[in-house]
Amino acid sequence: MRRSSFHNAVVTGACGGLGQALAQALIASGARVALVGLRTPVLDALAAQAPERCAVYRPDVSDALAVQAMAADWMARAGVPDLVIANAGVAGGFDTAEAEDLVVMRRMLEINLLGVATTFQPFLAPMRESGRPGALVGVASIAGWRGMPGNGAYCASKAGLIAYLQSLRAELRPTGLTVHTVSPGYLRTALTAGNRFAMPGLLEPDEAAGRLLAGVAAGAEHIVLPRRVGWLSRLLGLLPARLHDRILLGQPRKPRVGEAGATEIPGIEKP
């Protein structure tokens, strides 16, 4: 699918760095945009840029009934979308030896993996029945390509997401809908603010959003942001596993929930 613009978009995680940049770009292009997230002031500020074309929603993306209600309301207001971006996600360090981290893993899987399917589900049949081209975009991560020490929950959630998107893409090939897997490296967002290790190829959210939307419009099924970090990850993956692991073990780990620099995970109480 190659197209010049999108007219009706749904963006989850619209109050985060990449999501906010995506929402701003779509609003600026003239699209109607459903802004889905949890930080009301940020969402309200985005909607104020084009109140006649935007609506704000605050469901938990892992809550199927809440997302279905959001989808029904948006389609009643604006019609069936031609772009759904499942961008909502959380990150954090993980240690299997710590019992409290099992809760973190469960919540990360609920948001990062289940939340994507929950986001797509209520739009899928209406988009197919519309007979118009449409795009479903899942924001995964390069971290889903290989497990990293201290990051097992996040890597598992993103690896599962990549596999899920592959399955959905195969199912939808006979239709006019396309499925796009986005694998960012390091973006300058709240999710990476607490990282204590080197982040090669760190990309600004605005630039990442522009590349993402251009890639989807051009029909790219796999979008890596930036591509050079994807190449670096692939090269590292060619190393013997023991050497690869030794290199990664030498890097500082991502902060766990409750540690300094950890990002908040909705649904988990702070210790």
Report the C-alpha gap between 10 and 88 in whole angstroms.
12
- Residue type at 24 in one-letter notation: Q
Q: Is 1 helix (H, G, I), strand (E, B) or coil?
A: coil
Per annotation, catalytic residue among 57, 154, 164, 186: 154
Task: Give the Cα separation of 109 and 240 in Å (integer).
Answer: 29
Q: Which residues contact 132 (CB under 8 A, 6 or more apart)?
A: 80, 82, 176
Ramachandran class of 32: left when φ > 0, alpha when ψ lies in -120 to 50, beta otherwise: beta
Residue 154 annotated to the active site:
yes
Distance of CA 271 to the CA centre of its chain: 26
Residue 109 near residue 158 (C-beta atoms within 8 A): no
**Which residues, 6 or more positions from 219, have their beta carbon under 8 angstroms from its beta carbon?**
1, 2, 178
Nearest CA-CA partner of 108 in 83, 125, 91 = 91
What DSSP state is assigned to residue 186? -
Contact 160, 115 (CB under 8 A): no
Could you give the CA distance from residue 35 to residue 66 in angstroms, rounded to a whole number?
A: 14
Mind telling me the catalytic residues?
154
